[in-house]
Amino acid sequence: MATIAPNARDAAARTRRQEIADSWRGFRTAVRLGWQTEANWTDPVLFFIYSVAKPVAAALMLVFMIEVISVGQADPGLRAFVVIGTALWSFVMGGIAGLAWSILEDRERYRMLKYLYVSPNTLLVLLLGRGTARVAIGAFGAVITLGVGVAFLGVPFDPAVIDWPMAVAAMALGLVSVLALGMILASVAMQTRQDAWNYPEAVAGALFLLVGAVFPLLVLPAPAQIIGLLLPLTWWLEGVRQALFPGIASAISGPGSVYGQLAGAGAPSSAETLLALAATTLVASVLALLVFRWAEHSAIEKGLFDLVTGS
Amino acid sequence: MSLFVHRSTESPQHAADWDARRVLIVNLRGIVGRAYPRIIGAKREPSWLLFEILLPFLTTSAFVFVYRALNAPQEFVGFVVLGGAMTAFWLNVMWMMAAQLYWERDQGNLELYFSAPVSMMSVLFGMAIGGLFMSCTRAAVVLIVGSVLYGVVFTVEQWGLLLAVFFLTLAALYGLGMVLASFFLLWGREAWHLTQLLQEPVYFVSGLNFPVARLGFVGALAVATIPLAVGLDAMRQLAFASSAATAGLLSPAAEALILVGMAVLFIGVARLMLGFIERRARHEGKLTMKGT
């Protein structure tokens, strides 16, 4: 006699190895789908403009603010500081928005979320795949923004002095933390209505204030500096800046900064930066998993996966 | 005998065959009806207070701290606060109006709009009114809290002109939103991405955080084409009347005239475009199909 399985995943009796292979296949498919959803709506030229216009415009706006105040006499180091911060912010926008928008798109527009949920792959793997595709597009914007900064905005760049191991380690940990934050936003998107399209940008904008992306943390009030020091993005930006531009001004330390008072030293070393980045990334990832599991459970209980809203 | 007699007509409005008073009442009801879900939706889900007000305020604050890190004159902090307030309206126009018809089609509402004896402009106007509730709240919070927290002092000498410029900017912005709503519906899936594209680049060329005149030719082009740019430039001059840093591209009165021209042009073009897409939707029957 046939029995009804509690859910599709339990019904699929698989070995551990098969599970990993299936998850990998699901992840790859989700990345491919995410890329096509993002990229095949237009011709490559317009897609290129779309991918780079936002980060380049954001960098130009900040560089222009500096130039207006300094009357064209801005320190190139300051420009480099701002350009790197805005370039790397493409990853944050892609990662945070990517996962949340995947939920909203699949639920509200394509109405596929319920089918994805009952497919044998876990929703988390599929979402991470979609988010990865958006991070890849963010990488495109980041590279072009850095290129524009070096070519046109006087950002000093010397490939020979780059600390490659530090750059690779900081980028890898930073991207994990970006995806962790994206998972938290995806959890929020599961619980909210269609109008949540703006939420990822709002969160990214608020983080922009706290992580030393375009100005040093020491200009913030002490409580805001403490929050900034607890966020992995702060250490990621610091690590990548140190790796790509050794000797560049630190966003974390400085006279009167909270970090300076706590650590009693100047700028954090590469090892300290990586350690802080690893620790904060670990905390953010665990927190993201817990929040995601709660949101998933809550969405099932409330029937939110097939709920279509509007306003 | 049936009350409903079939006859061939151009549109549901013609089919209704109502007198002017009734047409007006029905359109007013349409406006209220379309505004209602946005206002009541905001009440039912208060998360927007965090995501639409507090967090965007922090984004604006980030630019305030950029100027503070640069030891910029205090007026520039005021420019950021003013720009932060006006972005609320730009985002509302882009997300909740320009891209809205496209989403309405995906949700299956668009054919209902086309088959209702109500003007599409009334539907879009209702969206604008509903969206203005959130946008005005956000703009007011950014303006008031930003001014108090960051010590911005406004020196307004021509309140009448400032208010006129503000409302003209809104009229031109929402007119542009209606035009874009028509285009985005025709362009399909590109609408979503174009909405994305029309944020940071527009902020930059509109001189969101600095006087647009500093951008030279690009700034002049923006003032001639983008309501946000010309509106902000005029409001900046009027709100910081005693400051030399404002350096407007044109006088506020001249910019107010540009805004009048933009409002008339955009609303006129929107009327033509909406008529065009309504006709196309009925004649070809494809515009309301999903996935185009």
Per-residue pLDDT tens digits for A103-114: 988 888 788 888
Per-residue pLDDT tens digits for A145-168: 999 999 988 888 888 999 999 999
Q: Which two tokens stand for residue A108?
A: 């509200």
Quick check: A242 pLDDT over 80?
A: yes
pLDDT tier for residue B3 given thresholds of 50, 70 and 90: low
Taking an 8 Å cut-off on Cβ atoms, the answer to whether B214 and A64 are in contact is: yes
Nearest-5° angle of CA B162, CA B54, CA B200?
65
What is the model's pLDDT at position A10? 63
In Å, how far is B159's CA from the nearest CA of chain A? 28
Nearest Cβ partner for A206 among B55, B91, B215: B55
Q: Identify each DSSP E strand in chain B by its residue range.
A: none
Residues of A whose CB is below 8 A from B190: 41-42
In Å, how far is A275's CA from the nearest CA of chain B? 27
Residues in chain B: 292
What is the model's pLDDT at position A310? 66
Total domains in the fold of chain A: 1
Question: Distance between CA atoms of B199 and A202, rounded to whole angstroms?
Answer: 13
Question: Distance between CA atoms of A79 and A61, rounded to whole angstroms?
Answer: 11
Instruction: Give the count of beta carbons closer than 10 Å to the beta carbon of residue A169.
Output: 18
What is the model's pLDDT at position B38? 87
Q: How far is the CA of A185 from the CAs of A96, B48, B233, B283, in angstroms?
A: 7, 14, 35, 43
- Domain presence at residue A167: yes
Beta carbons of B190 and B179 less than 8 angstroms apart: no
**Chain A positions with Cβ closer than 8 Å to B:** 41-42, 49-50, 53-55, 57-58, 60-62, 64-66, 68-70, 108-109, 188, 192-199, 202-203, 205-206, 208-210, 213-216, 219-220, 308, 310-311
Mean pLDDT of B153-168: 95
What is the model's pLDDT at position A192? 82
In Å, how far is A27's CA from the nearest CA of chain B? 24
Question: Distance between CA atoms of A294 and A219, rounded to whole angstroms?
Answer: 37
Taking an 8 Å cut-off on Cβ atoms, the answer to whether B197 and A53 are in contact is: yes
Q: Which residue of B has its CA nearest to A308?
A: B107
- Domain presence at residue A235: yes
Per-residue pLDDT tens digits for A270-281: 999 999 999 999
**In terms of residue numbers, what domain contains A132?**
25-302
| Cα-only R_g, chain B | 21
Nearest Cβ partner for B199 among A54, A188, A216: A54
In Å, how far is A268's CA from the nearest CA of chain B? 21
Mean pLDDT of B88-93: 90
Residues of A whose CB is below 8 A from B200: 53-55, 57-58, 61
Question: Distance between CA atoms of A236 and A234, rounded to whole angstroms?
Answer: 5
Question: Distance between CA atoms of A52 and A138, rounded to whole angstroms?
Answer: 9
Q: A37, A48, A61, A111: best mutation site toward chain B, by most B Cβ within 10 Å?
A: A61
Question: Distance between CA atoms of B8 and A285, rounded to whole angstroms?
Answer: 63
The mean predicted confidence, pLDDT, of chain B is 87
Domain extents for chain B? 12-284
pTM of the entire structure? 0.85
Taking an 8 Å cut-off on Cβ atoms, the answer to whether A109 and B55 are in contact is: no
Nearest Cβ partner for A57 among B76, B91, B200: B200
Nearest Cβ partner for B214 among A68, A70, A108: A68
pLDDT tier for residue A179 given thresholds of 50, 70 and 90: very high
What is the model's pLDDT at position B292? 46
Quick check: B198 pLDDT over 90?
A: no
Residues of B whose CB is below 8 A from A148: none
- Domain presence at residue A210: yes
Per-residue pLDDT tens digits for B94-104: 888 888 888 78
Quick check: A232 pLDDT over 90?
A: yes
Per-residue pLDDT tens digits for A189-202: 888 866 677 788 88
Question: Distance between CA atoms of B225 and B176, rounded to whole angstroms?
Answer: 10
The SS3 assignment for B246 reads coil
Per-residue pLDDT tens digits for B137-160: 999 999 999 999 999 999 999 999
pLDDT tier for residue B278 given thresholds of 50, 70 and 90: confident
Pick the more confident residue, A144 or B191.
A144
Q: Which residues contact A72 (CB under 8 A, 6 or more apart)?
A: none
DSSP per residue, B80-112: HHHHHHHHHHHHHHIIIIITHHHHHHHHT-HHH
Residues of B whose CB is below 8 A from A77: none
pLDDT tier for residue A241 given thresholds of 50, 70 and 90: very high
Residues of B whose CB is below 8 A from A61: 200, 203-204, 208-209
Per-residue pLDDT tens digits for A49-93: 888 898 999 999 999 999 888 877 778 788 889 999 999 999 998
What is the model's pLDDT at position B2? 47
In Å, how far is A213's CA from the nearest CA of chain B? 9
Quick check: B43 pLDDT over 60?
A: yes
Q: Mind spelling out the 3-state secondary structure of chain A?
A: CCCCCCCHHHHCCCCHHHHHHHHHHHHHHHHHHHHHHHHCCCCHHHHHHHHHHHHHHHHHHHHHHHHHHHCCCCCHHHHHHHHHHHHHHHHHHHHHHHHHHHHHHHHHHCCCHHHHHHCCCCHHHHHHHHHHHHHHHHHHHHHHHHHHHHHHCCCCCCHHHCCHHHHHHHHHHHHHHHHHHHHHHHHHHHHCCHHHHHHHHHHHHHHHHHCCCCCCHHHCCHHHHHHHHHCHHHHHHHHHHHHHCCCCCCCCCCCCCHHHHHHCCCCCCHHHHHHHHHHHHHHHHHHHHHHHHHHHHHHHHHCCCCCCCCC
Displacement of CA A152 from its chain's centroid (Å): 26
ipTM of the complex: 0.85
Taking an 8 Å cut-off on Cβ atoms, the answer to whether B59 and A206 are in contact is: yes
pLDDT tier for residue A8 given thresholds of 50, 70 and 90: low
Question: Distance between CA atoms of B166 and B227, rounded to whole angstroms?
Answer: 11
In Å, how far is A51's CA from the nearest CA of chain B? 9
What angle do helix axes A164-191 and A270-302 make, rounded to 10 degrees?
Answer: 20
Nearest Cβ partner for B66 among A62, A199, A203: A62
Pick the more confident residue, A216 or B4.
A216
What is the model's pLDDT at position A2? 47
The SS3 assignment for B240 reads strand
Question: Distance between CA atoms of A288 and A99, rounded to whole angstroms?
Answer: 12
Residues of A whose CB is below 8 A from B38: 311
- Domain presence at residue A109: yes
Mean pLDDT of A285-310: 90
Beta carbons of A241 and A159 less than 8 angstroms apart: no
What is the model's pLDDT at position B34? 92
Quick check: B79 pLDDT over 70?
A: yes
- Domain presence at residue A154: yes
Taking an 8 Å cut-off on Cβ atoms, the answer to whether A53 and B201 are in contact is: yes
Highest mean predicted confidence (pLDDT) among B48-62, B106-120, B249-263: B249-263
